Amino acid sequence: MPLFDFVCTACRHPFEALVRGSAVPACPACGSTALERQLTLPAIKTSSTHGMAMAAAKRRDAAQGKEREHAQREYERNHDD
């Protein structure tokens, strides 16, 4: 089922609606069916960018963790004797 983003042209209320066939959704704020369908799919876009941001954060944390580990080992090696 396709999920579309709409903006109500009557009250400018943005909302998402599942559209089946030729069914026309109505604005949940004012009940108007005068809607603009948005071309972007923020639900998919935000989840994927969020996933990418999370992956980037994890990579950054892992890199920082390795860096700290390495520095600690260097310190221990240089101060062993």
Contact 27, 33 (CB under 8 A): yes
Q: How far is the CB of 4 from Zn ion (least distance, A)?
A: 15
Member of 3, 18, 24, 29 binding Zn ion (CB under 5 A): 29
Contact status: 34 vs Zn ion (CB under 5 A): no
Member of 11, 54, 55, 71 binding Zn ion (CB under 5 A): 11
Member of 10, 19, 26, 41 binding Zn ion (CB under 5 A): 10
